[in-house]
Amino acid sequence: MTSEPLIIVCAGGHGRELAHAFLLDHSASAFLGFLDDGISGATAEGWPILGSLNSWRNHARASFAVAANSPRVRRAIVEQMGPRDGPKWTTVRHPSSRIGTHVAYGVGCQFLGGCEVTTSVRLGDFCIVNRGAQVAHDCSAGDFVSMNPQSCVSGHVSIGSGCELGAGCTLRQSSSIGNGAMIGMGAVVVKDVEPNAVVVGNPARPIKTLPAW
């Protein structure tokens, strides 16, 4: 959360949804626009593209949120721009998101509409809890985790850094997800997932291995 005006990095679909979430609880003047290496001019909504990622220094008094949903792309952007000594990364919360008691999260996180994080949960830096995602009690997640819409994380689940949970997937209680793993859309995870594995189906089964996180 921030009092400085916001700039969102990446003007794709997720970035525009993030802008919408932010503006539900802020004045129009609090959102300056986007940085994007591949788009110029303005978005379809009329929000301005202010320049490339490396132009953030022209707006050093602003706060920033990186809206790349892919954990690997998001990490690369943060590394390019500077995680600590670079931009001031901020957390963005949709006003309908619900964050319970004893929840701790790092810098640059995002909580989209209707998501719920209950109690005694720890999230690392640059995590995204997307629309309608649910995170139950006593869970932990590392840095750069993406929980896509309607994903459901049961209690006492451990999620490594760089994991992506597909829309509508379910993680059984007390399961462990290794760093860099990807859970497919609608998958039902009933046992631990190895690092960098891609798992799909019900019950979820591995189909490939991604490059090491």
Check whether 91 has a pLDDT greater than 80. yes
Which tens digits make up the pLDDT trace of 71-88? 999 999 999 997 566 899
Which tens digits make up the pLDDT trace of 33-42? 999 999 999 9
**Dihedral angle sign, alpha carbons of residues 25, 70, 172, 105:** negative
**What's the rounded Cα separation, in Å, for the pair 201 and 12?**
28
Which tens digits make up the pLDDT trace of 149-188? 999 999 999 999 999 999 999 999 999 999 999 999 999 9
Residue type for position 185:
M
- Which letter does DSSP use for residue 48 in this model? B
Task: Give 3-state DSSP helix, strand, coil % of the chain, rounded to 5.
Answer: 15, 30, 55
Domains in the chain (CATH in brackets) are: 6-90 (3.40.50.20), 93-202 (2.160.10.10)
**pTM recorded for the entire structure:** 0.95
**What's the rounded Cα separation, in Å, for the pair 194 and 179?**
8
